[in-house]
Amino acid sequence: MKSNQMKKPVKAKLIGGFLIVVSILILAFTESKDFKYIKNLEIFRSLFTELRLFYVDEVDSDKLIKTSIDEMLKTLDPYTVFIPESKMDDFTFMTTGQYGGIGSLIRKSGDYAVISEIYKGFPADMAGFKTGDLIIEVGGHSTKGLLLEKVSDRLKGLPNTEVVVTVKRYGAEKPIKKTLTRKNIQIKSVPYYGMVSDKTGYIRLSNFTRNSGKEVKKALLGLKENSHVQGIILDLRGNPGGLLIESVEVSNVFVEKGLEIVSTRGRMKEFDNTYKAKNHPLDTQIPVAVLVDRGSASAAEIVAGAFQDLDRGIIIGERTYGKGLVQTTRPVGYNNQLKITAAKYYIPSGRCIQALDFSHRNKDGSVGHIPDSLISEYSTRNGRKVYNGGGIMPDIEIKPEKLSQITLELYAKFIIFDYTNKYFSEHESILHPTQYTFTDDEYQDFIKFVDSKNFDYKTQTEIALEKLEDLAEKEKYYQHSAKEFMLLREKLSHNKAKDLESFKKEIKELIQTGIVGRYYYMAGRIQSSLPYDVQVKKAVDVLEDQNLYTSILEGNARKEVAEGM
């Protein structure tokens, strides 16, 4: 008994001593982190002060701070960014689809900005402005040589304020000057929906701003008024995402109430959430094909991933962008904001579609090659195998048609754009988008227009050959192979006239959709392009083959990969 009584105080002392040591270590660790934080802030403040006082030239303080902030955030992820007060309007537009302005898109054309898109029913449209108009003055001040964002800033402003805009129109002798009243511009998330065959409906969803779910529901109701509709194509190609909650609302139009659509997990518990379909769906049975590409990101990937994981529809197209990070904004003073990655999102199978490697993406930012060692396997509700690692892999992979070099150059150098301006000035009206065709005779007129512009280009093959010749000269091999290089150059040199004929089909399609857009706005342009779309055609084929559609969802179909021709 005495022995046991003596052991208890010793044991208690040991435990007490251990807790004290642990507490000291924790405190020291905490103090160490706090000390590093304070030390580095003090170093930065001191360094900045020394630069301002002693640098040989006067320094731009705002520029220095902005650069340091941007470079610091680059060490984290591509989506944690500083949003200065001057960019808050752009950020608001991205998340809400709303801004104060005249209702148009602009892009650079030489020394001026040109209207590249008119939104139907908004001030620019009501004033009679047209796609292709050059903006030469805003508020009485010339826009010549002005940066595009500066022109945009002048056009934007508080709703119900006036702005005087002067444009130069192709074929018009005098400039057109109008006083426009800015309005609150709300861009639709669903710019077009309609039937693409006797049995299949089509919905284009361009972004996830406020009320996207309601717009998709309205579109589906509109299509279901056609009693023959037996399948739906939901087009998310090029959709950059937006509001997470709208991805849930869009999914809920098609999936049962109570099903999990997405969950988020972050370091802070406040960002741990599970989002379920909370409304009664409109239709849980109609076959659905979701179209995606490398530009489908964030909220678009949530919808595509939920459809795939819940076996609610098939995914057709290319692997998606691979953005599974959730951002929130935090005020950082003086009307500036920090958009910070606060969580990752996980779709119903439990996988995160965030690309695991930021450093090996494609040129457009989408997912590059993912090593097998970084990929994990998951299962859909029906037991189909799906994988993480970056983006949503489609059930049917089909790549879009690749355009020829001459077509890309004609588009990039505004030749097609300028020709559609010419055509628009010469034709008061055209047939409906489903009936209008740009004829072969009209294409000959386009060729004459191209010749009048002294247009020329280089193919990628010619550019590669020039680089090879330069390298051969540097390494002193060229002189020994000059004759071979000359013969190769002759064989590989492009022939403009021949290329204009060889690639007539794809060039005509771009011209036709551009012309239709002049008369029937964005909706008409989309409608005009659908008959040539290989991914849409594939979706129609699968939706109208019930056995194939069912076999894919049950995991019995052979994985299909196709290349657009």
Give 165-192 as a 3 state SS string.
Answer: EEEECCCCCCCEEEEEECEEEECCCCCE
How many structural domains compose the chain?
3
Give per-residue pLDDT as tens, 466-481: 899 899 889 888 888 8
Residue 112 forms beta bridges with which residues? 109
Which distant-in-sequence residues (6+ apart) come within 8 Å of 43 by Cβ? none
Same domain, 286 and 219: yes
Query: Is the residue at 350 inside a domain?
Result: yes
The single-letter DSSP state of residue 517 is H
Same domain, 180 and 202: no
- Band (pLDDT 50/70/90 cuts) for residue 35 is confident
Same domain, 215 and 342: yes
Query: Is the residue at 65 inside a domain?
Result: no
Query: Is the residue at 563 inside a domain?
Result: no
Same domain, 135 and 253: no
- What is the residue type of 116? S
**Token pair listed for 164:** 């005087």
Pairing of strands 385-387, 231-235: unpaired
Euclidean distance between CA atoms 565 and 560, whole angstroms: 16
- Tell which of 186, 205, 237 closes a domain: 186
269 or 374, which is more confident? Answer: 269
Query: Is the residue at 178 inside a domain?
Result: yes
CATH number, domain with residue 331: 3.90.226.10
Per-residue confidence (pLDDT) for residue 349, from 0 to 100: 96
Please tell me the least confidently modeled range out of 82-86, 96-100, 504-508: 96-100
Euclidean distance between CA atoms 191 and 189, whole angstroms: 6
Q: Can you spell out the DSSP letters for 17-83?
A: HHHHHHHHHHHHHHHHHHHHHHHHHHHHHHHHHHHHHH-SS---HHHHHHHHHHHHHHTT-TT-EEE
Per-residue confidence (pLDDT) for residue 493, from 0 to 100: 85
Same domain, 163 and 128: yes
Arithmetic mean of pLDDT, 187-194:
96
Per-residue confidence (pLDDT) for residue 328, from 0 to 100: 87
Query: Is the residue at 487 inside a domain?
Result: no
Per-residue confidence (pLDDT) for residue 192, from 0 to 100: 97
Per-residue confidence (pLDDT) for residue 371, from 0 to 100: 65
Euclidean distance between CA atoms 467 and 473, whole angstroms: 10
Range of the domain at 522: 405-457+494-540
Same domain, 131 and 199: no
Same domain, 135 and 227: no
Arithmetic mean of pLDDT, 317-336:
90
- Tell which of 382, 398, 414 closes a domain: 398
Q: Is the pLDDT of residue 222 over 70?
A: yes
- According to the per-residue pLDDT averaged within each range, which of 66-75, 83-92, 282-291 is highest? 282-291
| Vertex 102 angle, CA 98 and 108, to 5° | 100
Same domain, 234 and 369: yes
Q: Is the pLDDT of residue 16 over 70?
A: no
CATH number, domain with residue 129: 2.30.42.10
Euclidean distance between CA atoms 373 and 350, whole angstroms: 18
Could you list the active site residues?
298, 309, 323
Q: Is the pLDDT of residue 87 over 90?
A: no
Mean pLDDT of the chain: 89
Give per-residue pLDDT as tens, 331-369: 998 888 999 999 999 999 999 988 766 556 666 666 666
Residue 176 forms beta bridges with which residues? 167
Arithmetic mean of pLDDT, 260-283:
94
Cα R_g (the chain), whole angstroms: 29
Please tell me the least confidently modeled range out of 385-394, 422-431, 543-552: 385-394
Which of these, 379, 350, 536, 511, lies nearest to 442 by C-alpha position?
Answer: 511
Per-residue confidence (pLDDT) for residue 1, from 0 to 100: 46
Arithmetic mean of pLDDT, 149-173:
93
Euclidean distance between CA atoms 565 and 563, whole angstroms: 6
The single-letter DSSP state of residue 172 is -
Per-residue confidence (pLDDT) for residue 490, from 0 to 100: 86
Q: How would you label 242-281 residue by residue, b for 16+ Cβ within 10 Å and e otherwise?
A: bbbbbbbbbbbbbbeeebbbbbbebeeeeeeeebbbeeeb
How much of the chain, in percent, has pLDDT values that exceed 90? 68
Same domain, 317 and 199: yes
Query: Is the residue at 274 inside a domain?
Result: yes
Per-residue confidence (pLDDT) for residue 388, from 0 to 100: 85
Same domain, 339 and 375: yes
Q: Is the pLDDT of residue 326 over 90?
A: no
Per-residue confidence (pLDDT) for residue 565, from 0 to 100: 43
Which of these, 387, 93, 40, lies nearest to 240 by C-alpha position?
Answer: 93
Please tell me the least confidently modeled range out of 30-34, 210-214, 232-236, 513-517: 30-34
The residue with tokens 């996207």 is 212
Per-residue confidence (pLDDT) for residue 260, from 0 to 100: 97
Residue 203 forms beta bridges with which residues? 193, 234
Same domain, 127 and 244: no
**Token pair listed for 17:** 């001593």
Arithmetic mean of pLDDT, 131-152:
95
Which of these, 170, 535, 87, lies nearest to 337 by C-alpha position?
Answer: 87
Give per-residue pLDDT as tens, 277-310: 999 999 999 999 999 999 999 999 999 999 999 9
Query: Is the residue at 53 inside a domain?
Result: no
- Tell which of 186, 210, 225 closes a domain: 186
Query: Is the residue at 565 inside a domain?
Result: no
Same domain, 279 and 425: no
Euclidean distance between CA atoms 482 and 476, whole angstroms: 11
Per-residue confidence (pLDDT) for residue 282, from 0 to 100: 97
3-state secondary structure of 278: coil
Please tell me the least confidently modeled range out of 59-68, 436-445, 538-547: 59-68
